[in-house]
């Protein structure tokens, strides 16, 4: 298959997926958001094709650590999905994240904890070899997103931004803190089971916790519960000047306004990401 034929095939798969998600979820995307989603798929494929996609030996490998106990004595199981690449007698374990590569680089320790547990299961419980671990970031960097949004598009600029992008972030792996990480997972299970879901306050969201990145950027923009979180909604309303009615519409309207609201909400998130990542160090 030529590159063009592969891209055409990918686009057909993207359209089928989109139509199926639209039927399941009951709402659609604006042309701008849909184009951005397609560009993400296309450029992710172009970038990762040689590095990982054509070399992957095992994909979507399910790793399970059963029969763990929380600090309060509850039983729980840890599960994860990774991709494995073996090349030149070296084995890599990749975890795929929808987070910016720059963010992952700056907060490697957060990702190392989780991947170390997967590495432990892979090596010690399943008896496999492992030499390296890494995160693959699926998010296009802001420079490339902006170049793709330019009208007219300048191909040289798109190419230059795509060439600069490095979505693979290697991590150090160590099994020293495995017990501590599993205990922390267990403490979260206890909180969930006890119904303790109190969010950070809006003031805490606006605070950088030790580094330069605010809580809202470090945690909230990746949190699936953000649109129903009172602190996040107050923070976004305050910092973007948008009304909380935008959020209310998200819940109450499932008609032709939905696409517009999806677009607004996508941009609310991008506002916050750009505010944090585009500011000088
Ligand atoms: S959006 Fe999520 S991470 Fe942020 S305060 Fe609310 S619950 Fe916590």
Assess whether 110 and 144 both reside in one domain.
yes
Q: How far apart are CA 139 and CA 205, in angstroms?
A: 23
pLDDT of residue 119: 93
Residue 50 in any domain: the answer is no
- The answer to whether residue 95 sits within a structural domain is yes
Whether the model clears a pTM of 0.75, i.e. scores above it, the answer is no
- Confidence category of residue 244, pLDDT binned at 50, 70, 90: low
Distance 169 CA to ligand 1 centre (A): 25
Sort strands 132-137 and 168-171 into parallel, antiparallel or unpaired: antiparallel
Among all chains, which residue has been given the structure tokens 């306004």?
257
Query: Within the chain, what is the greatest distance between any pair of CA atoms?
Result: 60
> Which residue, of 155, 172, 196, is where some domain finishes?
196
Which residue has a Cα nearest atom 4 of ligand 1? 220
Residue 84 reports pLDDT greater than 50: yes
pLDDT at 196 > cutoff 90: no
Distance 57 CA to ligand 1 centre (A): 37
CA 244 / ligand 1 centre spacing (Å): 16
Whether 202 and 189 share a structural domain: no
Specify if 25 maps to a domain: yes
Residue 25: pLDDT band by 50, 70, 90 thresholds?
A: confident
Segment 124-137 shows an average pLDDT of 91
At 241, the pLDDT band (50, 70, 90 cuts) reads low
Q: Which domain holds residue 30?
A: 1-45
* C-alpha 4 – ligand 1 centre gap (Å): 42
* 186 and 203 assigned to the same domain: no
CB 134 within 8 A of CB 169: yes
How many angstroms separate the CA atoms of 213 and 220, rounded? 12
Which residues have any ligand 1 atom within 6 Å of their CB? Answer: 199-200, 205, 219-220, 223, 225-226, 229, 231-232
């Amino acid at each position: 298959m030529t590159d063009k034929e592969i891209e055409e095939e990918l686009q057909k798969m993207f359209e089928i997926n989109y139509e199926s998600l639209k039927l399941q979820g009951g709402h659609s995307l604006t042309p701008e958001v849909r184009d951005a989603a397609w560009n993400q798929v296309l450029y992710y494929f172009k970038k990762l094709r040689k590095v990982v996609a054509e070399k992957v030996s095992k994909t979507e490998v399910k790793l399970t650590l059963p029969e763990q106990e929380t600090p309060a004595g509850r039983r729980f199981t840890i599960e994860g999905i990774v991709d494995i690449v073996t090349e030149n007698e070296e084995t890599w374990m990749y975890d795929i994240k929808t987070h910016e590569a720059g963010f992952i680089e700056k907060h490697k320790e957060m990702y190392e904890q989780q991947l170390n547990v997967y590495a432990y299961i892979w090596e010690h419980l399943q008896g496999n070899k492992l030499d390296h671990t890494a995160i693959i970031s699926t998010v296009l960097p802001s420079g490339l997103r902006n170049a793709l949004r330019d009208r007219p598009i300048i191909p040289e600029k798109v190419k230059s931004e795509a060439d600069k992008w490095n979505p693979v972030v290697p991590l150090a792996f160590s099994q020293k803190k495995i017990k501590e990480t599993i205990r922390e997972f267990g403490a979260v299970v206890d909180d969930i089971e006890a119904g303790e879901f109190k969010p950070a306050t809006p003031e805490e969201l606006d605070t950088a916790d030790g580094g330069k990145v605010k809580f809202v950027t470090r945690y909230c923009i990746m949190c699936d519960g953000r649109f129903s979180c009172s602190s996040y909604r107050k923070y976004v309303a305050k910092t973007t000047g948008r009304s909380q009615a935008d959020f209310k519409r998200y819940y109450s309207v499932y008609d032709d306004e939905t696409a517009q609201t999806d677009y607004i909400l996508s941009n609310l998130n991008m506002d916050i990401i750009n505010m944090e990542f585009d500011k000088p160090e």
